[in-house]
């Protein structure tokens, strides 16, 4: 944990957080015990090929992204939106997180409204054996230090499982 460059950045910025150490996790469903301790955040990296823009979308672990709703709000088409190549963020699939971002990368950060004001947001920071827990306010401070803002945008799929 002490060699984690992402945690070192949080410390340097005096961002309040706590760490939960756990067995390696490879899928969100592998985290039932962690979900009891925090609001686990799912991070989706999306590319709009029509406008050549990247988005990091933050949702709770149980939320589903509604690409049609997202496309409408971003003034693009559903067919233009795809999951982006994580190499752009210098990471690999499953390791995308706002905590790994570098300053001024060409992307917008979109958060679901149900994350706003939470005091227990859970993220990974470059490893699948630790979950970093911080408040929404602490996340804002961290992202502001990297010249990012969070845009709050409702893009969850609100249909029941029977409607899919």
Write the DSSP string, 53-119.
EEEEEEEETT--B-HHHHHHHTTS-GGGEEEPPGGGGTS-TT---GGGPPTT-SEEEEE-GGGTT-S
Checking DSSP bridges between strand 39-48 and strand 121-123, what pairing results, if any? parallel
109 lies in some domain: yes
Using alpha carbons, select from 136, 127, 137, 114 the residue that is nearest to residue 60: 114
Residue 3 confidence (pLDDT)? 60
Is residue 164 included in any domain, yes or no?
no
Residue 138 lies in a domain: yes
CATH number for the domain spanning 123: value is 3.90.960.10
> CA 84, CA 121: separation in Å to the nearest integer?
23
Asked if the structure places residue 54 within a domain, the reply is yes
Give the count of domains, the chain. 1
Q: Which domain holds residue 145?
A: 5-159
The rounded distance, in Å, linking the Cα atoms of 94 and 156 is 20
149 domain-assigned: yes
Q: 3-state DSSP: the chain helix, strand, coil percent, rounded to 5?
A: 30, 25, 45
What CA–CA distance (Å, rounded) separates 79 from 29?
28
Q: Please report, in tens digits, the pLDDT of each residue of the chain (164 residues total).
A: 456 788 899 999 999 999 998 888 777 777 777 878 899 999 998 999 999 999 999 999 889 999 999 999 999 999 999 888 767 766 656 678 899 888 888 899 999 999 999 999 999 877 888 899 999 999 999 999 999 999 999 887 765 444 44
The answer as to whether 94 is a domain residue is yes
């Amino acid at each position: 944990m002490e060699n984690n460059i992402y945690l070192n950045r949080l410390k340097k910025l005096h961002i309040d957080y706590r760490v939960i150490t756990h067995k390696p996790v490879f899928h969100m469903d592998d985290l039932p015990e962690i979900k009891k301790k925090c609001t686990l955040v799912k991070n989706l990296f999306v590319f709009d090929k029509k406008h050549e823009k990247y988005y990091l979308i933050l949702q709770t672990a149980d939320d589903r992204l509604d690409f049609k709703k997202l496309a409408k709000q971003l003034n693009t088409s559903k067919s233009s939106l795809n999951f982006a190549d994580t190499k752009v963020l210098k990471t690999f699939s499953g390791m995308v997180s706002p905590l790994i971002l570098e300053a001024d990368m060409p992307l917008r950060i979109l958060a679901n409204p149900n994350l706003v004001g939470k005091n227990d947001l859970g993220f990974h920071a470059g490893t699948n054996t630790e979950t970093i827990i911080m408040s929404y306010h602490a996340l804002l401070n961290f992202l502001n230090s990297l010249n990012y803002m969070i845009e709050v945008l409702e893009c969850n799929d609100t249909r029941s499982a029977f409607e899919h």
